[in-house]
Each structure stands twice: as structure tokens, then as C-alpha cells.
A and B are shown apart, each in its own frame.
Chain A
Amino acid sequence: MQSVLRSRIMYAYIVTLLLGLALLYFADPVLKEISLALDANTLTAKSRDLISSFASALVFFAVFVMSRRIPAMIGPGTAGYFLSKPLSRTRLLTYTLLSSMIVNASIIGLCMAIFGAALLIILPAGPSGADIALQISLEILVLMIYAPILFFLGLLTRSGSYAFMICFTIWLVAWVLPGREGFLMFFNSDILSALADALYYVLPKSSKIVEFAYPRVSGLQAGLDWMPIWSSALSALGAYGLGIIRFRRMDL
């Protein structure tokens, strides 16, 4: 925790938070004017988009920080230090993953809570505190699901940059896969279709997880769809398992 608080990435979090708050402050008159013209559901949806955009920036930094964690730990000169301690590799990886998740989730949660509180003050007619808390939790959940994937990629590539880039690619692919029928119709290929289906079920469903909050935040009465959360949690568990297997077999 101390080392994260001392790191330069903390400046990125703080600057992003300040930028977000400044945006809300300067946009205050405009937002209030718009809020008068919009119905409650549309206003809530707009607020949700605002929170989501802010969360994306924070999650981006968190993913960046976490992608470097494992390559730094298994790098030359550092691996010997950690692996010579009386901890099994499974425990070492698990502790590192958990500490990284807790620290980054806490920082992001705090930043988003401050931003959410500011939004509540500016738009009292917008989403409720509970709605914002739900959305913040889901954004953090997405980060938690990607953390084991990042760690596995870090173990596989031994490079923070590669892990970050591949993870970003996975996130993009996972984002578009729910709408795969739309582009698969142009190819008319069974193999491609099967591949896209397989990827859809294997990769986390980050867009669907965030959408979990939509019915509630948008005031809709549609039933909550838990499947993307369970399925993504299984993907994360799978990545964690593969990470453990990989780490235990690695010569460092």
C-alpha cells in the first residue's frame, strides 16, 4: 500500500479526479440547464455515461499499474528475492494479486465516490446515491475480473507493456463480441462464427457487466441478468488457475 501511495501513478489518479471535478464544476450551469429539459430516465442515463467515462480513465491507470506488477516481480534480480522466501509460488501469486486488487480497487473506489458525491450535489434530480454506488461497484468488478487476466498475461509475456496491450485487445474484443451477429453476417463462415462464439463464452463480458446496472439506474423494471457476472468471474478464475500453473512451472 505504502509503495503504491508513493508511486507516480498516484499523481495520475489525483489529476484525473481533479479534472473530473473541474469538469463537473465548470459544466454545472450547463448540466443544470440540460437537466431541466430532460426527463428523469434520460438524465439518469446521461449521468451513468458520465460516471462510466470517468471510471474508464481510472480503470485505465489501474490496468496500467497492475500490468507491470508481475513482470516487475519476476524480473531479473527481483525474482530471486521473492522466491527465496518461505512462501509457495501459489501463495506468493495469490497474495500479490489480492493486494494489487485491494489497493487499486480502494483508490478507484475512493476517487469515484468523490466524483459521484459531486454529481449528486450538482444533479439532485439525477441518479440516487445507491444507483451511483452500484455503478461504481460494477466498474470495480470489471477491474477485478481483468486483474487475474493481466497477471496471467504478465507471467506469459514477462513484459508489462505486452500484458497491457494484449489485455486491452481482449477488452476490445470482449466489448464487441456481444454484437457478433452483426458483423459475422458479412463473412458467412462457420469457423469464424464458432470462434466468435467460443471467445464470447471464454472472455469476460465487461460491457454486459456494466449494463447490469442499466435497468436499475435507468429506472427500467427489466430483470437483472446475472449470467455475464458469473461467466466473467469464471473467466477470471480460469486465468488465475492458468497463472498459478504457469508460475509454478517457471524457471526464474
Chain B
Amino acid sequence: MQMLGAPNGYNRTSRKYSLTFFEAPRSRVTYYKSMTSSVAPLRADSISKTYRGVLGGKGIQALKGVSLELKPGEIFGLLGPNGAGKTTLVKVALDILSADSGQCWLFGLPAKNARTRLRVGYLPENHRFPPRLTGRGLLQLTGRLHGMADDQINRRADELLERVGMSRWAGTRITKYSKGMAQRVGIAQALIHDPDLVILDEPTDGIDPVGRAEVGEIIRELKSAGKTALLNSHALAEIEQICDRVAILHKGEVLRVGDVSEMTAIGLQYVLTGSFGVLTSDPPPEVAVALEKSDERLVVRVSSEDKLDQLTDWLRSRGASIRSLTQRKHTLEEVFMEMIDKGKGPG
């Protein structure tokens, strides 16, 4: 019996994935790694969650039927103001919180199954790792919790500590670390077991600009390695640069999900830079409509991309020189602010 809405292959009756769970005596890591890579790394189906006090009451509804699906190999950004439900959604996906209704799936298996987390690396927001551990100790503990062998853990810990620039302080207790250092080690522990899905909650929180760029680089490396990343962040400029797709959450609802490029695009508007002081008139309306014009900048709207060639020809014929031509875009922050202001927009 195939469960309604369940990912292909999941059988509700047996509560087991109908692949080769008991077929061969492989290690649990190998088994979970071997599962098909086309399955959504994370899928949320109509998740609702209300925080209630000890005495019950109306409570605070943190998520209202949120549905999302991550594609394998993409970098996905979860955006939203404080209290939008971003961290709640991540916690439900990792079974740290239980949903009132709906279900989360990790790699096609119910998120309630602890073993699905073998393939997931997680950096919690405002983390407080066991204080008596050193940076290396944290990575070793995390590796052991993921069932890794000691030699594998040590080799990987060396690589990652070097990668996040923490080799020098690997033997120092976490409590002695600055926020940025703790964050770097936190990212390293999330990657120790080479997860296929990395969930980073405010990864650049407390990190200096150089460190932020390094974190961005690490996330891009994950993408090149075919990993999926879910970023939960307020740093919209970074999200815009790094993420393939984003979801905007507000008051527990998904306002919009889409490609960053699509979300920030403003129709067929283009910005040209160069020398336009020689122009005595605007381009003909059948070619382009000038929206802004100065000696060095021209903003136009065209009816189709084919018109761009005609426009550049027309400009050159009038003696103007063109240095650059780029499509005009909103920043993600503008899109975000607009969505939040509207409360609920199209999409």
C-alpha cells in the first residue's frame, strides 16, 4: 500500500523502505548512502506547529501548513523575519520538535526515523556545544555519534579544521573560543561525516567578513560536490549570492518559493553603461523605451531580447559607446521587504 503523499518506495504497512534494507550485511552508513540520489533530500508536507505553554491555551502558531521540497544538489535559502518559523521548520525536519500535523521526509524516509540523519549535517542556531570539549574533541564526538571509525574521524577532522581555519586552536576548549571560532568549528562538525544534506542555521552569525566569504566558499564547494544545503539566514546579500532557490516565510506561512534569479528579475529591463551624452533623442519606441537616461547610464525596457541588438545598433549609429549591458534586477532584500510588507504576495 503506497502511502498517500509519501515519497516513492515508502511502505506504510511495513514502515521500511522497500529497497534492500536487510539484503546484505552492509554498514548502515553504506546503506543510507546507497539510496537513490534523485529523492528529495528534504520534503515537508503541510507542517503545522503551535507552541503551547504548560497549561495549554491558544499558544503561538509557528508553522501553518508549510510545504517545501529541496532538490538534490541545490543550495536552498530559508528567509524570513524573526519568528517567521524558519528554525521551527528545520527542527521539525530533524525531529527535534514534533509537528502537530503534516510530515517531513529526509531522503524519502520519514524524518522520525533517526537513521535518516546519518546523511544530514546540522549547525544549530545559537549552539552551545558540550563545554568541556575541545574543537577536535567536538569533531571526534560528532563523528562517533555518526558511527564513523576513529582513523576516519581523525583524518576528516584534520582536513576540516584546516578548511575552516581552526587547526591552531583545535586543542583549545570550546568555551575559550570567540563566537566566530565556535561557528567555524560548528560548521566543521556539521560536515565531519560527509553528509549529503547540510542544514546550516545562521552559518555566518558572528563571523567576520573574511570568514563569511570562506563560509560562502565552503557552501559552494558542497554544491560542486553534489551535496544539498539548506541555509537559514538573515544575511540576504549572502543568500542571494550563494543560493539557487529560496523560500520566504512569514508568520508561519510560505509566501514565495522560487529561483533567486527569477525572483529578483524585473521583466526585460536592461542597464547600459557607456557614453550617451551624444544622444539627442530617446531610442525609437518600437526598439526600446528609455526609463532613465544620463550621460553615462541608460535604463531601457524592451519588448523582447531580440530588440537588444537593434538597440545597440541604434546607439552606435548615433555615436554612443557601450561599456556594459546587464539585466536590471531587484536585490533579494528588496524582494524580501516587498513580500513582507505585502504580508502575502503572488506566488
Interface on A for B, CB 8 Å cutoff?
2-3, 6-7, 72, 75-89, 91, 249, 251-252
Contact = CB atoms under 8 A, between A and B. Distances in A.
A82 B124 CA distance: 10
Interface in B170-191: none
A183 B3 CA distance: 62
A88 B95 CA distance: 10
B145 A85 contact: yes
Contacts of A79: 96
B166 interface: no
A85 B96 contact: no
Interface in B128-165: 128-130, 132-133, 137, 142, 145-147
A80 B124 contact: yes
Contact of A86 (B125, B130, B145): B145
Interface stretch (B115-123, B223-231, B247-255, B315-323): B115-123
Given A77-B127, A80-B124, A80-B127, A86 B96 contact: no
Interface of B: 28, 51, 91, 94-98, 114-118, 120, 122, 124-130, 132-133, 137, 142, 145-147, 199
Contacts, number: 70
Contacts of B114: 86-89, 91
Contacts of A83: 94-96
A54 B124 CA distance: 43
Contacts of A7: 132
Given A85-B145, A86-B118, A88-B114, A3 B97 contact: no
A77 B132 contact: no
Given A80-B94, A87-B145, A88-B114, 19 more contacts: A2-B132, A3-B130, A7-B132, A75-B128, A77-B128, A78-B128, A80-B96, A80-B122, A81-B129, A82-B145, A83-B94, A83-B95, A83-B96, A84-B122, A84-B199, A85-B117, A86-B28, A86-B116, A86-B118
8 contacts: A3-B130, A76-B128, A78-B128, A80-B96, A80-B122, A82-B145, A85-B117, A85-B142
Contacts of A85: 117, 142, 145-146
Nearest to B128: A77
Given A76-B126, A76-B128, A252-B97, A86 B147 contact: yes
B115 A86 contact: yes
Contacts of B94: 80, 83-84
Contacts of A84: 94, 96, 117, 120, 122, 124, 199
A3 B131 CA distance: 9
A77 B127 CA distance: 4
A81 B124 contact: yes
A79 B127 CA distance: 9
Given A85-B145, A86-B117, A6 B96 contact: no
A1 to B, nearest CB: 11
A210 B224 CA distance: 64
Most buried by A among B125, B130, B147: B130
B97 A251 contact: yes
Nearest to A4: B132
A121 B235 CA distance: 69
A109 to B, nearest CB: 22
Nearest to A8: B132
Contact of B130 (A78, A87, A88, A91): A78
A244 B28 CA distance: 24
A204 B28 CA distance: 40
A123 to B, nearest CB: 39
A91 B96 CA distance: 15
A3 B127 contact: no
Nearest to A3: B132
Nearest first, the 8 A-B pairs at minimum CB distance are A77-B128, A80-B124, A3-B132, A84-B122, A85-B145, A86-B117, A86-B118, A88-B114
B96 A2 contact: no
Contacts of B97: 251-252
B122 to A, nearest CB: 4
Contacts of A251: 51, 96-98
Contact of B133 (A3, A72, A87, A88): A3
Most buried by B among A86, A88, A91: A86
Nearest to A89: B114
A76 B130 CA distance: 12
A150 to B, nearest CB: 19
